[in-house]
Amino acid sequence: MTGEHPASEADHLESWTTAPLLEDRVAIVTGAARGIGLEIATVFARHGANVLIVDLAEPDAQAAAASIGSAGGVAEGIGADVSNEDDVDRVIQTCQERFGSIDVVVNNAGIIRDATMRKMTLEDFRAVLDVNLTGTWLMTKAAGAVMRAQRSGAIVNMSSISGKVGLVGQTNYSAAKAGIVGLTKASAKELAPHQVRVNAIQPGLILTPMTENMRDDIREAKLKEIPLGRIGRPSEVAAVALFLASPLSSYVTATVTEVTGGRYA
C-alpha cells in the first residue's frame, strides 16, 4: 500500500502484552462500525472488554459487533447519532441494561466536510461542530455522570492533529478538534475528584475510509511531511486508546497524545 514500509514495529502491536488489559470492563466506542473506531472496539474486545458499538445505522453497528463476536469477543451494536441528546441517553441506558456498567467511553465518531472558508457553508460548519464537538460533549456529560457515581472510569476523545495546527480547508474540523482538547482538559479536571480520567488522542494521517480516497498528489505531499515516512494504521491509534482506557495509564489525565509519525510535532 502506498507510503507504508513493508515491515515495521506496527506488525508487533498485538504481541507486546499477553495480559488482557480490559478484562470484564464495559466500553462504549462511538463511530465504531468502521475505520479507527472498529479497530479500537476490536482491540478492546480482544483485551477482555464487553463493547457497545455505536454508529449511525444500526445494521452497520450490529454487523461490526457480529464480526467481533465471531472472533470470540463480546460486542453489541446500536444505532444512534451522537449529536442527538435523546440518542445519547438511549445509548447510556442500553449499555447499563445490557452490560451493567460503563467503564470506558471512546468518543471517536467524527465527520469531515472540507472546503475553504470562501466556499464553506454555515451548514457544513455546524454539522462538523455538531458531530465532533457537541457529540463528544454529550457523551462525556452522560457517561461522566455514571462514572462519577461509580467512582471510576476512563474517557478517550478523538481529536486530530488538525486541531493543533489548523489545516487549510478545515476551519470547521480544526475548530471542532481544538474544541475537543479544551473539553478534554476541562472535563478531566471536573471528573478527577471522582476518579474518572479523560484524555485525548490527536491522530495524524491514518488509512481509513475517511482518507483512502485522497488524491494521489495530496497523499504524496502529506507523506513528505511525516518524519516516520509513512501513513499510520488504525491499529496504531487503537494501541494508544487501549493504553489510555486501561489501568496502564492510571495516573494520566487531561492529556493529549499525538499519533502522527512525528508530523507537526
Which three cell numbers, joined as nine digits, stand for 98?
445490557
Establish if 83 lies at the interface with ligand NAD (CB under 6 A).
yes
Min CB(205)–ligand NAD separation in Å: 5
42, 50, 108, 172: which one binds ligand NAD (CB under 6 A): 108
**DSSP class of residue 103?**
-
Identity of the amino acid at 51 = V
How far is 243 from 35, CA to CA, in rounded Å? 19
How far is 165 from 175, CA to CA, in rounded Å? 10
Establish if 181 lies at the interface with ligand NAD (CB under 6 A).
no
Size of the site for ligand NAD (CB under 6 A): 28
Element (H, E) at 245: helix 234-245
Nearby residues of 29 by Cβ (< 8 Å), 6 or more positions away: 37, 40, 41, 44, 51, 52, 53, 54, 105, 106, 108
What's the alpha-carbon Rg for the chain, to the nearest Å? 17
The SS3 of residue 35 is helix
For cell 453497528, the residue is 61
Q: Which residue's CB is nearer to ligand NAD, number 107 or number 253?
A: 107
How far is 38 from 22, CA to CA, in rounded Å? 16
Establish if 34 lies at the interface with ligand NAD (CB under 6 A).
yes
Instruction: Candidates 43-51, 79-87, 187-195, 222-230: pick the segment binding ligand NAD (CB under 6 A).
Output: 79-87
Establish if 103 lies at the interface with ligand NAD (CB under 6 A).
no
10, 56, 63, 256: which one binds ligand NAD (CB under 6 A): 56
Establish if 153 lies at the interface with ligand NAD (CB under 6 A).
no
Min CB(31)–ligand NAD separation in Å: 3
Active-site residue, from 109, 173, 239, 249: 173
Min CB(192)–ligand NAD separation in Å: 24
264 is catalytic: no
Binding site for ligand NAD (CB under 6 A): 30-31, 33-37, 54-56, 81-83, 108-111, 131, 135, 158, 160, 203, 205-206, 208-211
Catalytically active residues are 173
